[in-house]
Every structure is written in structure tokens, then in C-alpha cells.
Structure 1
Amino acid sequence: MNTTASVFGAVHLGYIVIETSRFTDWRRFGTDAIGMHHDDLSRDLMRFRLDDQDCRFLIRRGPAEDVVATGWHVDDHASFEQIEARIRAHGVPCVEGSADEAALRGVERLLRFPGPKGITQEIYTTPVKSGEPLRMLASGFVTGDSGMGHIALTSTKPARLRGYFHTVFDARLTDYIDETISGFKLRIRFLRVNERHHSIAIAAVRGLPIDPIRTRVQHLNVQVSTLDDLARSYERVCELGFDMALSVGQHTNDKELSFYARTPSGFEWEVGWNPLVVDESTWEPSTHQGISIWGHTPVGRTIVDKLDQFRFGARSLARPENTVPALSGAGIPDD
């Protein structure tokens, strides 16, 4: 339990760091399919922009083929220091980012610390704004006070992950979804740190301590400005030959229209439009049956894909999941 004042509402998903060796494919995926602005920094570094912030996705060369860090924009220095104090009070090490590391991410005052599933968590205060006009196929992306989208994780210890984000960011439970996907019965928890319906989703297989996903994240989400942006991005993903994971559909809980493409690194990328915004004065958590009101039909999945997923799940039994126990505590009972 946090004894200090809440930082809820002062935290926003700000950037994602992805490690990959597939630079050419990622450049095509980000610019030509999703429609983001692209900047080459060197042979081993590139960035994508969604708005006037210098960096929303930092792509660096490496073997992970995965998300390796998430960056959270904190509104003010007082909230930043409050989060840092919480982490240090629990005995978890914090490392100040160097000036070069902060510049790569387009931020000032960078601090990093361990996060669940080996994803480094980073907080920063002032984002650096670019004076260069956006060159992108999308007309725009929704960022601002609600942050730039969300991340979705799978976990064998979902209450611990929820406890972690509550301890660090005062994350609140928005709602649950119960769903069966590829034979797995899932319960998905949706957590918010501001007005966005969720900045973090945590999916767990009910009754089995397995994680069927190879990557640290199951998917990332960005929100486009218009329905036309959504339709055109869907069309470009298909025309360019990138794999589509789920067709266009509408979610039961946040009512967002979206589709899911498969990135060159293997995790999924959701492009969404028009999710509802939470009204804190009236919102009560509830449980929804199924992720979609309509659509979100699996595309091109074969029995081989399903067998691979079961293999990953079986291997996870021998692979302990890091939940950063000092910050997740005993978790939060929520079932």
C-alpha cells in the first residue's frame, strides 16, 4: 500500500524501446504499413514519431526481437521524485540515464529500474519536441494527456503484475475480460494510470501456470485520429505482405475499433480508433465475456501456429517469471 499522495493521472505511456535485427522490415512496417514518421539515426538506431515528441519508438539493433523497455512520461518533478522514492524505499535499484541515453529517447531526466518480465521501466519528465514537420501516411495519432496507447502482457502471476503497477504508478483496475483463445481460457485485467481506459493489459491462463507467448509483450497499441486512418492502415498492412493476426473488430470493454498486425519481431501491433474515456466519478470495474462485440477474427492461423503456442506454454513451466517481488509484494487479490 502506498502511504504517499497518489501519482494517478500524472503518468502517461511515452515511448517504447524495441530490440531487433530486422531493421529493413521494421522500417517498412512502421512507415509504409502503420504510417508513422521515421528517422534514421545510425546503422543500429532508428526512431518513429507519432506527434511533435522526438521519439515514440526507439528501435535498436540487437538479438531480442522484443520490447526491452517502456518509457513513462511523468508530469512534474514532484511526482517523478515520489515514484523514485517509492522504488528506492522497496530496496529496488534505480539508475540515472546518461545524457546520451536521454537524447536518444527524446527526453530529459531519465531514470530506469527493473520491471516485470524483464522489461526495463523508465520514467522521464520533459519530452523534447521536434521542430521537423511530420512526414507520415497517417493523418495523426492520439497521444496527449492519455499517453500514446497501451502495452499488453501475458503472465503466470497476474496479481503480482497488477501489484507492481499499483505500487509504482497507483494504477487502477478498469475491468476484466474472460475469453477463450486457441483453447486457452484467459482472464485479462485492464489497468489505467490516467483517463485512457487502459495503459496496461495483463492476460493470464486460468487454472494453468503457463505463458503461451514467446515475447515479453503480447501486443502494443497505437490510436489513430480517424476511421479512415484505421482503414487505410489495414489495407497497407495487407498489400505489403505483413501478417495480419486479427481482422478489424470492436472490443467489448473500451468499444475501440481496431485490428492486430504481426510485427517483424513476432509480437502483435494493434491499431485502434475511438476508445471510450473513463469518467473517474462514475466508473466501476466489471467483467465482460469475450474480447469483441464483433470481428477480430484470426487471420491465417494454422495448426502449426497453435502447436507452437502450446510448446511455448509448456516451456514456460521451466522458466520462472520475474515479477520484481519487492515492488509487487503479495499482489492484489482480485478474483
Structure 2
Amino acid sequence: MDIIGIGYLGFETPELDAWREYGPQVMGFAKGRNPDSDPDSLYFKIDDRRHRFAFHPGAVDRLSYIGWEALGRLAFEDALKRFTAAGVEFVRGDAELCEKRGVRELVCFRDPVGYRHELFYAQKWTPRSFIPGRPHGGFLANERGAGHIVLITPEYGPELEHFLVNVMGFSWYGAGAGKGRTGFFRSKLNHHTSHDIAYGHSPGRMGVQHVGVFVNSIRDVGETYDIVRTRELPMMMTLGQHTQDPHLSFYHFTPSGFAFETIAEIEPWQGDPFELNPERLSLWGHEMVGPVLGLSVKTPAEVLDAQYLGGKA
């Protein structure tokens, strides 16, 4: 599939008021325009797209959907043929849902774990419309997507990797240097970073472990780091440089209990001509000062909606 990367992410949360301040004042996001049919949600921009992150009212913090961007209409139609051939059930989004997401067309489907995904093309955008919520140098998105996400799965079986590699067309990057079973995958058209999505195995648990966003400069990482420390927000890992994809980053927890990894590129990603097997997670820093799994990781019954648990997509 000709997929660029993650176009947008949607979450449910009871912490909308906290996000209204946190998004702009800590992360530097811009508040996006609400669709007319969705006045109660909160939308954030990190570039000139209509939005990249959406937070919807909900009783618990959980991931609602991952929106994958197809290169265009022809790539989108080819993907639907691939879904059909692979027996993947999908539902076409109606006009109202497409307007909420700001896209021409989309379909909804589930991965073998139960997480909801959407595939779309042609998200609306307005040139020079991104104005950060605080002084900030901006985010790297566009041709690489909005960032990456790491999910927790209660079971990690061969059907998950089959779905990601053979159906979605993602490249397998490797298992990384973390403990336990983790798989990193990259969309076909993303040649800028090692992974768009990863699944970590934790029996009986599901949820978002962290979301990674790329900023334009090391200064943007440092200033965000200072704000997090000044506000005494809970952190997962301190400032450091990874081994497998040599970027500068740190991790802290959001109002929804998952972590944001704020990342700056300090040298070009080396690509993956062979599978790396790093002996340690980071070259320096990244001291673990908080839990690996935040409060967003719950039981499957808390994370999956009741309709899906009842056997329907």
C-alpha cells in the first residue's frame, strides 16, 4: 500500500479541560477549528493540515482511532482491493465522518488486536495556517506523517505481523533493544524514520504507551523539556539519544496517561539495509524515572468499545 504515515490520531478522554491548556502551553500545539458536527471535541494542529490530534469526550482515556494517509485516490482504491482480497472487513465513512476528519474519503477497519484504524486520502489544509500555542519552532510532519505511536497488545501472534506486513504493506524494522516482545514497523513511503507504529507485548493489557512527535530543532526539545520540569509534570525518561534511530528526545506523561516523546533529528536516519540488534536502548541519557506503562494502558475491556467486544467491527 502507498501509505505516507499517520495522518491523524483520535483519543477519548475525560480530561478535555486539562488538554485545552496542556496542548498549546506545554507542547506548542495550535488549537484547530471544530467541525460543525463536532462542537464538543478538541482539535490540535502541528502544521498546516486542518488537524493532527483530536480529543473527544469520553468516560476513560483510550485511543479511538489511527488515521493512515494514502498517497491519493488511486492508492486508496488499490488499498481497498487489497483489503477485500485479504478478507479484511472495512466500513466506508459517510459524508459527516469525512467532514469531521477533513478528508475526501476514508474507510474504518480493525487490526487483529482490536484497535481501530482509518485509511484516508486528501486531508484539508490551509497554507501558513499553523500558529503555535506558545513560542515554538514548529513540527516536522507533511511527507513523514504526524509522528509515531507505540501500542500495547495482550497477545503478540503471527496474525498481527501478517496483517501489518502483508496487508498494510509495512516494512519490518526490528524488535529494538527493549525488554520483551516488541515489533517496529514503517509505512511504505516513509523514508525518514525507523517506525510509524510499534506493538509491545504485555499480557492482559492494552493502550497507548507513547506517541512520538518530531520538532524542527534541538531548541524545541530543550524548551519543552524545561516547561515539563518547571511544571513538575511526570516523566518517563529523561533527555537522551537512542541507538537504533539516533535522535535526541525525552518522554513525559500527558493528561491522558500516555507519554509524548518529543524528538529532534541530530543526524540523518541511517536507513535499514539490514536488521539492527542494538545492545542497549540509548547511547546516552534516557534515564528511566517513571513507569514504562502509564495510566492509559488498561485491560482490553476498558480500552475496546462494547460494540467490538460484542463481536462487531
The question of a shared fold, defined as TM-score above 0.5 by the shorter chain, is answered with yes
Pair 1:22-2:15 in alignment: yes
Write out per-residue CA displacement over residues 231-279 of structure 1, whole angstroms, 9 at most, x where no aligned residue.
0111112223321111111111001111111111111111111174354
- In structure 2, what is the Cα distance between the partners aligned to 1:127 and 1:300? 36
The SS at the match of 1:260 is: strand
Pair 1:146-2:140 in alignment: no
- In structure 1, what is the Cα distance between the partners aligned to 2:33 and 2:251? 26
Pair 1:38-2:31 in alignment: yes
Residues 140, 65 of structure 1: alpha-carbon distance in 2 compared, 3 angstrom cutoff: same
Measured on the aligned residues, the alpha-carbon RMSD in Å equals: 2.8
Q: Given the two structures, how large is their TM-score scaled by the length of structure 1?
A: 0.79
Which of 277, 282, 295 is 1:287 aligned to?
277
Q: Given the two structures, how large is their TM-score scaled by the length of structure 2?
A: 0.84
Q: Matches of residues 174-213 of structure 1 in structure 2 within 5 Å?
A: 174-179=173-178, 185-193=179-187, 194-195=190-191, 196-204=193-201, 210-211=203-204, 213=205
Work out whether residues 172 and 184 of structure 2, in 8 Å CA contact, stay in contact via their aligned partners in 1: yes
Work out whether residues 86 and 167 of structure 2, in 8 Å CA contact, stay in contact via their aligned partners in 1: no
Code of the residue aligned with 1:58 in structure 2: it is A
Work out whether residues 177 and 187 of structure 1, in 8 Å CA contact, stay in contact via their aligned partners in 2: no
Work out whether residues 34 and 237 of structure 1, in 8 Å CA contact, stay in contact via their aligned partners in 2: no
Code of the residue aligned with 1:142 in structure 2: it is L
Write out per-residue CA displacement over residues 75-114 of structure 1, whole angstroms, 9 at most, x where no aligned residue.
1222211211222223332111122222222222111111
- In structure 2, what is the Cα distance between the partners aligned to 1:120 and 1:265? 18
Give the equivalent residue in structure 2 for 1:182: none
Work out whether residues 175 and 253 of structure 1, in 8 Å CA contact, stay in contact via their aligned partners in 2: no
Once the 2 structures are TM-superposed, how far is the Cα of residue 117 of structure 1 from its aligned partner?
3.4
Work out whether residues 118 and 216 of structure 1, in 8 Å CA contact, stay in contact via their aligned partners in 2: no
Size of the aligned set, in residue pairs, is 293
Residues 14, 37 of structure 1: alpha-carbon distance in 2 compared, 3 angstrom cutoff: same
Pair 1:259-2:250 in alignment: yes
- In structure 2, what is the Cα distance between the partners aligned to 1:199 and 1:85? 23
Work out whether residues 12 and 64 of structure 2, in 8 Å CA contact, stay in contact via their aligned partners in 1: yes
- In structure 1, what is the Cα distance between the partners aligned to 2:120 and 2:184? 23
- In structure 2, what is the Cα distance between the partners aligned to 1:79 and 1:64? 35
Once the 2 structures are TM-superposed, how far is the Cα of residue 154 of structure 1 from its aligned partner?
2.4
Which of 262, 272, 279 is 1:271 aligned to?
262
Once the 2 structures are TM-superposed, how far is the Cα of residue 162 of structure 1 from its aligned partner?
2.2
- In structure 2, what is the Cα distance between the partners aligned to 1:75 and 1:64? 33
Code of the residue aligned with 2:147 in structure 1: it is G
Pair 1:96-2:92 in alignment: yes
Structure 1, unmatched stretches of 5+, are 1-6, 180-184, 323-335
Work out whether residues 244 and 299 of structure 1, in 8 Å CA contact, stay in contact via their aligned partners in 2: yes
Code of the residue aligned with 1:235 in structure 2: it is D
Write out per-residue CA displacement over residues 161-202 of structure 1, whole angstroms, 9 at most, x where no aligned residue.
2222113321111233233xxxxx324322111213110122
- In structure 2, what is the Cα distance between the partners aligned to 1:78 and 1:39? 29
Once the 2 structures are TM-superposed, how far is the Cα of residue 296 of structure 1 from its aligned partner?
1.2
Pair 1:11-2:8 in alignment: no
Work out whether residues 177 and 289 of structure 1, in 8 Å CA contact, stay in contact via their aligned partners in 2: no
Which of 52, 58, 62 is 1:62 aligned to?
58
- In structure 2, what is the Cα distance between the partners aligned to 1:100 and 1:131? 24
